[in-house]
Structure 1
Amino acid sequence: MHDATRDSGLTGEQPVVCHHDPGPNNTVFRGGVPVAFIDFDTAASGDPLEDVGYMAWTWCVSSKADWPPVAAQAAQVRVLADAYGLSAARRAEVLDAILDRQSRNARWWAERLSDSSFRLAGPEQIASRIAWSEREHAYTSANRLVFAEALR
């Protein structure tokens, strides 16, 4: 999608159109293999690292005890960066893109708590999503060196 929208006139001042939510929950799988993204309601112009950072977080990084150890997660982030074809300079920005997206996710959900017209999730579910985003941010921050080393 990024390549298709680059220089398309759809991007405004930004380089590409981003999905802005390319997580597993917005992916169509066939035979256990991801084949397409869906749910483009948040698509808008942006920097490719906005999507790459979000994908790295939601596909590769988790503080859950039943996930692989951080070194294995960092290796997966590297695979994603390699597959996307990031330059060395852009690879160095992936970790900040992950942390930024985790912070923005927590803030976005926190704003929903005070929005009485928001009906897609109740207060308990919103609080859970905020706590998850903050926990993931703390985990990523605590393991910053491991992720950074994998991306070199």
Structure 2
Amino acid sequence: MEELLAGGNTTEGVVRAGRTVRRPRDHRSTFASEVLRALNEAGFVWAPAYLGIDEEGRDTFSYIPGATTDHPSQRDERCYAAIGGILCELHDFSRGIPLASGAECLVHGDPGPFNVVMSAGMPVALIDWDSVHPGDPMEDVGYAGWTWCIYATGNVPVADQARRLRLLADGYDPQMGADALIEAVFRCQDAIIRIEGANAVDERLSDQRRHHARAAVEWAGSCRNVLSTNLEVFAEALQRDRR
């Protein structure tokens, strides 16, 4: 028996079947499956096992128990450093491998909390690898810093947001510069505003997809405003006690 899995905005028809997850394939699936095979063989424990293509032509992965989160109240405070560490492991593993195609490393492309399975407030798996690609590691770090730590809703104090951004940065690289991380966050937010702004008016897309695009633009813009209007708070938290 198959159970439709909730969540996700761009791929329909993802289901759980026993101890597996089945996902319809698209133009990104071949590369993503090659990356997952390489990660599995290397012992990267934060990725699901890739199990091949089923009889209906769907990618098959191991099912990982747990749930995603959408608010800091659902998380252990140690999770932010752990997320930074997971991304560091991914980037370190993939530097110089053929799949990186001459780029600095592979980047997950979408390492937000909606793509991390959690258990007891801590990450156990990074899922949804369809956006993996060769690139700049700060793409992942900036996006994770934003999506895990910066909130325009949910009554999250700005000082707590800045402190958690520092935890994530330290988990990735304790020597990371404050300016580099803040610039990376802004780049990610601006990219979402630009890309999803175009999708919001693209009549070739479904009404549901355009609705998602409009919501994404609003989300990115509101979070960008939080960062820009509280820049000193974030910069101070990122610079404190660093040598």
What is the TM-score with the length of structure 1 in the denominator?
Answer: 0.89
Shift of 1:13: 3.7
Asked if residue 149 in structure 1 is aligned to residue 149 in structure 2, the reply is no
> Higher helix proportion, which one?
1
Partner of 1:121, secondary structure, is helix
Alpha-carbon distance in structure 1 between the residues aligned to 2:175 and 2:91: 15
Asked if residue 11 in structure 1 is aligned to residue 100 in structure 2, the reply is yes
Shift of 1:117: 3.1
Residue 224 (structure 2) aligned to one of 113, 137, 150: 137
Asked if residue 77 in structure 1 is aligned to residue 161 in structure 2, the reply is no
Instruction: Give the match for residue 32 of structure 1.
Output: 121
User: Which portions of structure 1, spanning 4 or more consecutive aligned residues, are displaced by more than 6 angstroms?
Assistant: none
Letter in 2 for 1:145: E
Instruction: Give the match for residue 95 of structure 1.
Output: 182
Shift of 1:65: 4.9
> Higher strand proportion, which one?
2
Partner of 1:10, secondary structure, is helix
Which has the bigger relative contact order, CA under 8 A and spacing at least 6?
1
Shift of 1:120: 7.7
- Post-superposition Cα deviations, 1:44-80, rounded to whole Å, max 9, x if no partner, equal 111111111111111111111511x111111111111
Alpha-carbon distance in structure 2 between the residues aligned to 1:120 and 1:25: 22
Shift of 1:111: 1.5
Q: Quickly say closer, same or farther: Cα 1:111–1:76, change in 2 above 3 A.
A: same
Alpha-carbon distance in structure 2 between the residues aligned to 1:120 and 1:7: 41
Which ranges in structure 1 are unaligned for 5 or more consecutive residues?
A: none
Which ranges in structure 2 are unaligned for 5 or more consecutive residues?
A: 1-89
Contact 2:200 2:211 in 1 (8 A): no
What is the TM-score with the length of structure 2 in the denominator?
Answer: 0.57
Letter in 2 for 1:81: A
Partner of 2:180, secondary structure, is helix
Shift of 1:40: 0.8
Alpha-carbon distance in structure 1 between the residues aligned to 2:207 and 2:128: 15
Shift of 1:143: 1.1
Shift of 1:86: 4.4
What are the equivalent positions in structure 2 for 1:92-131 lying under 5 Å apart? 92-119=179-206, 121-131=208-218
Alpha-carbon distance in structure 2 between the residues aligned to 1:28 and 1:49: 22
Shift of 1:121: 2.7
Letter in 2 for 1:87: Q
Instruction: Give the match for residue 155 of structure 2.
Output: 66
Structure whose CA Rg is larger: 2
Shift of 1:88: 4.0
Alpha-carbon distance in structure 2 between the residues aligned to 1:57 and 1:114: 25
Alpha-carbon distance in structure 2 between the residues aligned to 1:13 and 1:7: 7
Alpha-carbon distance in structure 2 between the residues aligned to 1:27 and 1:76: 17
